[in-house]
Amino acid sequence: MDTTQATASDRLKYYINGVLQTEFDSTSYPAQNSNPGYWNAAYLHCWGDQVQSTSVSGSADYYLAEVHMVDGTALAASDFGEFDSNNIWRPKDCKDNLTYGTTGFYLDFSDNSSNSALGLDQKPGATQDPAVTGYGLSGGGSPGQAVDGIASYTSEYSVRTNGAGVTLGTAVTANSKVRIYGSAESGNYEINNTSTNIAPTSWPNRGWTDVSSALTFPISISSFGITGGSANDGGRLAAIEIDDVILTGTANDWTLNNITASVGTPAFNSTHGSNITTTEAAKIFDGNDATYGQATG
């Protein structure tokens, strides 16, 4: 898709086995220089299904082996595949040669350990949000909200201020600077279960607090939270910034900052019979027998 093109049919191109398709029963192309609202936005995205609002229908009848979403660059079919000596179209291992852009991703469905794992972004350099667990008394939310890259009240982990916070699955080294975004009714921020004696922004406001003066660098950070307050008082942890970089993953989606997909149960029309199970739907992604499936992300 390249909506900057003057010719309408050049704005959206569709290839089958490397051949540009030009004959359709009907066509409708995006306006020149338009930004289609649903593509790079926080809406339900489906591969192998038709989606209208929150309703999913019309499951496709094909195998889905890979999905490349390249943001900001219009590429040719030859960037993704090539004809072999028998004139058969074959896919290229092209992920290392592509620039996926801000919201781009690559799905190869290689991790079939769970439905959600099928949709992990596999583009070079992509990681998921750090694995975390909570410690102490929680007041609501998820520990993962403290490391999802969103420094805002819209995504924060609620804790009690008498010694509660987030433990990182993998410690992160800070060399010169640490800030925490949050708030508290009482208490001080703590790093590695040791108080910094530096108070968070006073509730109900939220903000960044620099705790660097209380630390000796370099320091390996395995946890952060709030301590020294009351079990009846609340605190909020939304983000931690280490050496001017907010701790988070590098993969992207349209709502948070990591792309994951889930396998659902497709809604078939009458020609396909009844619905299949989620387990059967997952087979499409791990190369087994099923030929129908739905991935949403």
State the average pLDDT for the chain: 78
Using pLDDT thresholds of 50, 70 and 90, give the confidence band for residue 284: very low
Given this model, what pLDDT does residue 41 score? 61
C-alpha to C-alpha distance for 76 and 170, rounded to whole angstroms: 40
C-alpha to C-alpha distance for 152 and 196, rounded to whole angstroms: 22
- 62 pLDDT exceeds 80? no
Given this model, what pLDDT does residue 265 score? 44
Given this model, what pLDDT does residue 119 score? 67
**More confident position, 189 or 106:** 189
- 49 pLDDT exceeds 80? no
Given this model, what pLDDT does residue 108 score? 82
Residues 24 and 97 sit within 8 Å (Cβ to Cβ): no
pLDDT tens readout for residues 101-157: 877 788 887 776 655 566 677 788 766 667 789 999 998 888 988 988 788 888 899
Using pLDDT thresholds of 50, 70 and 90, give the confidence band for residue 246: confident
Task: Record the pTM.
Answer: 0.51
**More confident position, 57 or 81:** 81
Mean pLDDT, residues 18-25: 91
When mean pLDDT is compared across 161-175, 184-198, 210-224, the lowest value belongs to: 161-175
Residues 56 and 267 sit within 8 Å (Cβ to Cβ): yes
Mean pLDDT, residues 29-58: 68
Using pLDDT thresholds of 50, 70 and 90, give the confidence band for residue 72: confident
C-alpha to C-alpha distance for 236 and 249, rounded to whole angstroms: 21
Domains in the chain, CATH or no CATH each: 37-128+251-297 (no CATH), 132-246 (2.60.120)
Task: For the beta carbon of residue 209, count every other beta carbon within 10 angstroms.
Answer: 19
Residues 173 and 192 sit within 8 Å (Cβ to Cβ): no
Given this model, what pLDDT does residue 8 score? 93
